[in-house]
Amino acid sequence: MSSNSEWPQATPGAPENAMLPESSATPLNAPEALSENPTWSGWDVVKIFVMAIVLLIGCLLGVALATKLSTRSSWW
């Protein structure tokens, strides 16, 4: 492979006159950001946990039942 002399060579580090752009984002501790995303209560977390456990057990029982029924007879 030959190097292309038309491409500019990369220089290590940033140029001396490089500046970061001004940030227009709202800081995280601004009141607008807090009211937009309210915190979850402990009960919300408990509800999600219980729902996940119930769905997990339900899926396991469903797969176990389907496996048991499919081994008895070929109803597929």
In the chain, domain spans? 40-72
Q: How confident is the model at residue 2 (pLDDT cuts 50, 70, 90)?
A: low
Return d(Cα 42, Cα 62) in angstroms, integer.
30
Question: Measured between alpha carbons, how far is residue 28 from residues 25, 37, 41 in Å?
Answer: 9, 11, 20
Return d(Cα 49, Cα 40) in angstroms, integer.
13
- Inter-residue contact 33 to 26 (CB < 8 Å): yes
Return d(Cα 42, Cα 31) in angstroms, integer.
22
Q: Percent of the chain at pLDDT above 70?
A: 50
Q: How confident is the model at residue 44 (pLDDT cuts 50, 70, 90)?
A: very high
Q: How confident is the model at residue 25 (pLDDT cuts 50, 70, 90)?
A: low
Return d(Cα 29, Cα 26) in angstroms, integer.
8
